[in-house]
């Protein structure tokens, strides 16, 4: 009952919403960025789209997302989670007219977190460009809604799951961690209360060392403690 027929006009792709933090060009404040790829064929030729590709026959879904990430940024993700499977019949030709309805595509979309400083500069430039996540150009297909959804999920999840460290090096201060939360959520957070909440999660281990050269009291450095491994597919609460 679960096996499927062979020749259907439905093809399967895996796309990935890749987030990184970098200063906003105008304000200088830390903001979310993501890489897009310029389409080189119809439909939506010339427009920007999420990186991705067809699912290979011998490839796991998450592996496909990882390969896309490697191709686009030159790195492995610090965090990777399935977002949603988008597969409505009409999603290829949403509001643009004039295109013949192409083959139907079901996209399984992942979202990932990487460190901007790790991104290989070399990969950039070709057909890949990074954009401020909240200020994107018009996107191909339904990718704008997908990004919105990924943003919502990231912002929700960072409030109840320790994923912020995925934007940071292995050792970091509580101010660093707080800066990530503030950038993602676009708020300011009380340093005192944030500290207590963060420590209460029991996911931070003090390294014992302090960061030096700060023109003020040296802040303690922490490391992220793995805790229990991921349970079911992904913890989505």
User: Judged by CB under 7 A, which stretch of 29-37, 43-51, 110-118, 185-193 contacts DNA?
Assistant: 185-193
Considering only residues 153 to 172 of the shown chain, the ones binding DNA according to CB under 7 A are none
Q: Using an 8 Å Cβ cutoff, are 106 and 11 in contact?
A: yes
Options 78, 173, 203, 207; binder of DNA; rule CB under 7 A? 173
User: Judged by CB under 8 A, which stretch of 19-27, 142-150, 190-198, 220-228 contacts a copy of itself?
Assistant: 142-150
Residue 49's binding partner among a copy of itself, DNA, none (Cβ under 5 to 8 angstroms by kind) is a copy of itself
Q: How far is the CB of 83 from a copy of itself (least distance, A)?
A: 9
Dist CA 93 CA 169 (whole Å): 41
Dist CA 114 CA 65 (whole Å): 13
Considering only residues 213 to 232 of the shown chain, the ones binding DNA according to CB under 7 A are 213-220
Q: Does 123 bind a copy of itself (CB under 8 A)?
A: no
Dist CA 126 CA 37 (whole Å): 9
Q: Does 74 bind a copy of itself (CB under 8 A)?
A: no
27 secondary structure, DSSP code: T
- Number of Cβ within a 10 Å radius of residue 165: 21
Residue 217's binding partner among a copy of itself, DNA, none (Cβ under 5 to 8 angstroms by kind) is DNA
Residue 76's binding partner among DNA, a copy of itself, none (Cβ under 5 to 8 angstroms by kind) is none
- Count residues binding a copy of itself (CB under 8 A): 58
Which residue from 91, 93, 85, 46 is spatially nearest to 65, judged by alpha carbons? 85
Write 38-43 long-range contacts (CB < 8 A, 24+).
Answer: 38/127, 38/129, 39/140, 40/127, 42/99, 42/102, 43/92, 43/93, 43/96, 43/99, 43/102, 43/140
Q: Using an 8 Å Cβ cutoff, are 164 and 110 in contact?
A: no
Q: How far is the CB of 11 from DNA (least distance, A)?
A: 45
Binding site for DNA (CB under 7 A): 173-175, 190-193, 195-197, 210, 212-220
């Amino acid at each position: 009952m679960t096996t499927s027929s062979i020749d259907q006009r439905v093809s399967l792709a895996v796309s990935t919403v890749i987030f990184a933090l970098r200063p906003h060009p105008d304000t200088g404040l830390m903001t979310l960025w993501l890489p897009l790829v310029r389409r080189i064929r119809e439909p939506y030729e010339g427009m920007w789209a999420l990186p991705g590709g067809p699912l290979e026959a011998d490839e796991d879904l998450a592996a496909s997302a990882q390969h896309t990430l490697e191709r686009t940024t030159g790195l492995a993700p610090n965090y990777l989670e399935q977002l949603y499977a988008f597969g409505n019949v009409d999603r290829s030709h949403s509001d643009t007219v004039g295109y013949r309805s192409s083959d139907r595509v079901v996209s399984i979309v992942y979202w990932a977190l990487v460190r901007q400083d790790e991104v290989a500069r070399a990969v950039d430039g070709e057909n890949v460009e990074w954009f401020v996540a909240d200020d994107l150009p018009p996107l191909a297909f339904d990718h704008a809604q997908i990004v919105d959804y990924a943003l919502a999920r990231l912002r929700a999840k960072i409030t109840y799951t320790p994923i912020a460290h995925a934007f940071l090096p292995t050792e970091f201060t509580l101010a660093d961690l707080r800066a990530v939360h503030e950038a993602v959520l676009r708020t300011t957070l009380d340093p005192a209360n944030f500290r207590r909440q963060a420590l209460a999660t029991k996911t931070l281990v003090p390294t014992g060392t302090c960061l030096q050269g700060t023109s003020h009291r040296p802040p303690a450095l922490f490391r992220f403690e793995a805790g229990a491994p991921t349970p079911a597919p992904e913890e989505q609460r």
